[in-house]
Amino acid sequence: MNDLASAAVPGRTHGAALQAALRRAAPALAAYAAIRLLGVAVLAAWSTANGKNWHTLLTARWDSLWYSRVAEQGYGYTVQLANGDVHSNLAFFPLLPWLERGLAAVAPLSPADAGMAVAWLSSLAAAWALYATGERLYGPRAGVALAALWAALPVAVVQSMAYSESLFTALAAWGLYAVLTGRWVTAGVLASLAGLARPVGAAVVAAVWITAAATVWGERAGGARLRTAPRRHPGLLTGVLLAPLGWCGFFLWVGAQQGTFTGYLDVQGGWGNGFDGGIAFARFLWQLPPAAGLGLLAGVALVIWLYVRGVRQGQPLPLAVYGGTVLLLALTAKGYFGSKPRLMMPAYPLLLPLAVGLAKWRPVRSWPVVGLVAAGSAVYGAFWLNGSGPP
């Protein structure tokens, strides 16, 4: 009788499941919110002491200004520097400006404030996805630890800025969770949206495609005919076709605006960005003072070790592909070397080995460690945003 009642009211069943999932995620969301509020509070105190405004730092500096200008005026704005470089706002993917414009149209918010609101809400959605991923793979305590560690990254203050990292991470994390749970159409839609948020949306597409290919190959290796795989995995082909639409659509549109297929790459080149296999980054490391260079090299070695450790722990294929691709793109990009920690921030699977380790500790040991890391993140974020360079 209960089964029949549930079948008769599927909406109510889905609603109950959503409420249950939210209740399970509540500790992770509370931990995430507490850590990020600490970061904002320290930023506010530090900024006040320096005669600056914390709100301005979060909404109206560096990339935030470019996003809000796209929201207000659309594309086509350029700045020519003294050295001849041309900075075009075509470098910025459109999803965040679209949301800023839409939210500002229905709420008493400026586009910049709307951008911060989107970032804060998206960061909570991302924390929920991280919890759900950790819970599914290693249990609830690992899920809470994963969300808390992401909130306490040294550059986590960016999650509270009117930047696109939080929005992208939320879409990517839920998209990969959809792959893990076999919801291919949902994964394709979210991958397409992630591709409209940041250039690294290509990493989500790669995760969907490679996991789909491995799934089909596994069916064939198991003796099934290739053409039966789509029937055994409903929505797989649709998800694969949907996944690249956002990223490819914007890439091709910018190319049309520039009059060349490589238009987006040319725009990025004007900003000094591009990919050279890590040569420029290696040169940057070599030119640093020895202590600074060795410290940065140790940081790079650490993130690579975390990736390898996660793979050896049996990290599922979509997470391994996504995390590895984000890491590869960040380390092989040239230009804006100080921004590399921010570019790696969406690579949350790198934190899974640490989350698993913390989950094995008793709370009396694990939470003081998380609190200490969170305090360090808050201080570093305040110092960073009160500095002169962009994150």
Give the start-to-end residue ranges of the domains of the chain: 25-385
Cβ-based neighbours of 105, under 8 Å, separated by 6 or more: none
- Alpha carbon 179 to chain centroid, angstroms: 16
Q: Tell me: the pLDDT tens digits for 158-171? A: 999 999 999 999 99
pLDDT mean across residues, the chain: 92
Strands 78-80 and 333-334 turn out to be unpaired
pLDDT confidence tier of residue 195, bands split at 50, 70 and 90: very high
Q: How far apart, in whole angstroms, are the C-alpha atoms of residue 364 and residue 64?
A: 39
Q: Is the pLDDT of residue 15 over 90?
A: no
Residue 259 pLDDT more than 60?
yes
Sign of the CA dihedral running 69, 72, 76, 79: negative
Using the predicted structure, report yes or no on whether residue 59 has a pLDDT greater than 90: yes
pLDDT digits (tens, 9 = 90+) for 349-368: 999 999 999 999 999 999 99
- CB < 8 Å & 24+ apart, contacts of 300-303: 300/331, 303/327, 303/344, 303/347, 303/350
pLDDT computed for residue 175 by the predictor:
98
Residue 2 has pLDDT above 60, yes or no: no
109-119 mean pLDDT: 97
Q: Both tokens of residue 381?
A: 């974020």
Structure tokens that stand for 91 in this block: 């470098």
Contact 196, 247 (CB under 8 A): yes
Residues of the chain with pLDDT > 90: what percent?
80
Report DSSP letters for 289-309, one per residue.
-HHHHHHHHHHHHHHHHHHHH
Burial of 57 (0-12, 13-18, 19+ CB in 10 A): buried
Per-residue pLDDT at 203 exceeds 90: yes
pLDDT of residue 1: 37
What average pLDDT does the segment 126-134 reach?
Answer: 98
| pLDDT band (50, 70, 90) for residue 338 | confident
Q: What is the largest CA-CA distance in the chain?
A: 75
What is the percent of the chain with per-residue pLDDT over 70, rounded to a whole number?
94
Mean pLDDT confidence for 64-75:
97
**pLDDT tens string 208-242:** 999 999 998 887 665 666 666 667 788 999 999 99
Least confident interval from 2-11, 58-67, 259-268, 312-321: 2-11
Strand 78-80 relative to strand 274-275, pairing? unpaired
d(CA 325, CA 217): 21
What pLDDT does residue 222 have?
59
Give the pLDDT score at 11. Answer: 53
Residue 222 vs residue 96, higher pLDDT? 96
Burial, 36: exposed, middle or buried (Cβ in 10 Å; 0-12, 13-18, 19+)? buried
Of the pLDDT bands very low, low, confident and very high (cuts 50, 70, 90), residue 391 is confident
Q: Which of these, 127, 103, 126, lies nearest to 116 by C-alpha position?
A: 103
- B/e letters for 139-163, b = 16+ CB within 10 Å, e = fewer, are ebbbbbbbbbbbbbbbbbbbbbbbb
Q: Answer yes or no: are the C-beta atoms of 162 and 115 closer than 8 Å.
A: yes
